[in-house]
């Protein structure tokens, strides 16, 4: 059995969103992403489906030129290879659920570039 917390050990960075792997299992990863207001995760895509939960705050979630405003409690699911980007409307905490084949390091590289 593994346990984790979305609320313990929260970190923010002045320049970019912070990704932290909370759980790493045989089949997937649960990742917390923290944003300060106005921080951006540039357009990217993953080869496998993902689910994003807005745990706190509000995010402008761009998918193929359309923007969906997501707020606390909202979920969004995307298939693989769908370009998307994120911008924090306010300080936010997201939970990203992804297939084990996606590397957390690949996503982390996107926010630092």
When pLDDT is averaged across residues 3-15 and rounded to a whole number, the result is 90
Which tokens hold the place of 112? 């630092």
Q: What pLDDT does 103 receive?
A: 53
Q: What is the DSSP string of the chain?
A: -----SSTT----SSS-EEEEEEE-SSEEEEEEEE-TT-EEEEE--SS-EEEEEEESEEEEEETTEEEEEETT-EEEE-TT--EEEEESSSEEEEEEEETTS-HHHHHHHHH-
Q: Between 49 and 103, where is the model more confident?
A: 49
d(CA 58, CA 99): 24
Question: Of the ranges 48-52, 56-60, 76-80, 105-109, which one carries the lowest mean pLDDT score?
Answer: 105-109
Q: What pLDDT does 26 receive?
A: 84
Question: Of the ranges 78-82, 86-90, 93-97, which one carries the lowest mean pLDDT score?
Answer: 78-82
Q: What pLDDT does 86 receive?
A: 97
List domains and CATH numbers for the chain.
Answer: 23-112 (2.60.120.10)
When pLDDT is averaged across residues 51-67 and rounded to a whole number, the result is 96
CB 52 within 8 A of CB 30: no
Percent of the chain at pLDDT exceeding 90: 63
């Amino acid at each position: 059995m593994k346990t984790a917390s979305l609320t313990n050990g929260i970190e923010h960075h002045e320049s970019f969103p912070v990704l932290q792997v909370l759980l790493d299992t045989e089949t997937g990863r649960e990742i917390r992403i923290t944003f300060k207001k106005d921080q951006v995760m540039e357009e990217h895509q993953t080869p496998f489906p993902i689910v994003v939960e807005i745990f706190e705050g509000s995010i402008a979630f761009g998918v193929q030129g359309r923007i969906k405003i997501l707020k606390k409690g909202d979920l969004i699911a995307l298939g693989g290879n769908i370009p998307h980007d994120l911008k924090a409307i306010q300080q936010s905490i997201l939970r990203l659920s992804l297939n084990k084949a996606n590397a957390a390091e690949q996503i982390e590289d996107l926010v630092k570039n």
